[in-house]
Chain A
Amino acid sequence: MNIQYKKGVIELCILSALNKADMYGYELSTYISKEIDISDGTVYPILRKLKSDGFVTTFLSEVSGGPPRKYYSITENGKQRFKQEAKEWLDFTKTVSNMIGGKSNE
Chain B
Amino acid sequence: MNKQEFMQVLKKELEQNNVADIDEILSDFAEHFEYKLEEGKTEEDVVRKIGNPVDIAKDYSLQAKSNKSDKNPVAIIGLIFLDLFTFPIFLSMWLSTLVLGVFGVALISLGIMMILTLNIYEIIPSMPYITSLLLGISMLGLSISTFIGTFYTFRYVGQWQKAYGRWHKNLLHKNIYPSLSMHPKFSKRLSSTLKLANMLGIVSFVATFTIGYIVSAILANSFEFWHVWEWFI
Complex CA gap A42/B29 in Å reads 11
Contacts of A93 in B (CB 8 A): none
Contact of A52 among B46, B51, B63 (CB under 8 A): B63
Q: Say if the beta carbon of B177 comes within 8 Å of chain A.
A: yes
Q: Say if the beta carbon of A94 comes within 8 Å of chain B.
A: no
Using an 8 Å CB-CB cutoff, how does the interface string of B44-71 with A read, 1 for contact, 0 for none? 0010011111001001100100010000
Residues 91-143 of B at the A interface (beta carbon under 8 Å): none
Is there contact, CB below 8 Å, between A44 and B56?
yes
Residues of B in contact with A, size category: 20 to 34
Is there contact, CB below 8 Å, between A49 and B32?
no
Residue of A nearest to B27 (CB): A70
Contact of A29 among B32, B34, B60, B178 (CB under 8 A): B32
Main secondary structure of the interface of B (DSSP, over half): helix
Complex CA gap A69/B63 in Å reads 25
Residues 157-210 of B at the A interface (beta carbon under 8 Å): 175-178, 188
Main secondary structure of the interface of A (DSSP, over half): helix
Contacts of B34 in A (CB 8 A): 67
Q: Say if the beta carbon of B28 comes within 8 Å of chain A.
A: yes
Is there contact, CB below 8 Å, between A41 and B50?
yes
Complex CA gap A33/B49 in Å reads 10
Q: Say if the beta carbon of B232 comes within 8 Å of chain A.
A: no
Is there contact, CB below 8 Å, between B32 and A52?
no
Complex CA gap A40/B29 in Å reads 10
Is there contact, CB below 8 Å, between B56 and A41?
yes
Q: Say if the beta carbon of B15 comes within 8 Å of chain A.
A: no
Is there contact, CB below 8 Å, between A26 and B25?
no
Interface size on A, residues (CB 8 A): 21
Given contacts A40-B49, A41-B51, A41-B56, contact A52 B177 (CB under 8 A): yes
Is there contact, CB below 8 Å, between B29 and A52?
no
Given contacts A45-B56, A48-B63, contact A40 B51 (CB under 8 A): yes
Complex CA gap A49/B20 in Å reads 12
Contacts of A26 in B (CB 8 A): 31-32, 35-36
Is there contact, CB below 8 Å, between A45 and B50?
no
Q: Say if the beta carbon of A102 comes within 8 Å of chain B.
A: no
Complex CA gap A79/B53 in Å reads 31
Contacts of A44 in B (CB 8 A): 25, 28-29, 32, 56
Contacts of A41 in B (CB 8 A): 29, 32, 50-51, 53, 56
Q: Would you list 28 pairs from A and B whose C-beta atoms are within 8 A, ordered by A residue?
A: A26-B32, A26-B35, A26-B36, A39-B50, A40-B32, A40-B36, A40-B49, A40-B51, A42-B51, A42-B56, A42-B59, A44-B29, A45-B59, A48-B60, A48-B63, A48-B178, A49-B63, A52-B67, A52-B176, A52-B177, A52-B178, A53-B67, A54-B175, A67-B31, A67-B34, A68-B188, A70-B28, A70-B31
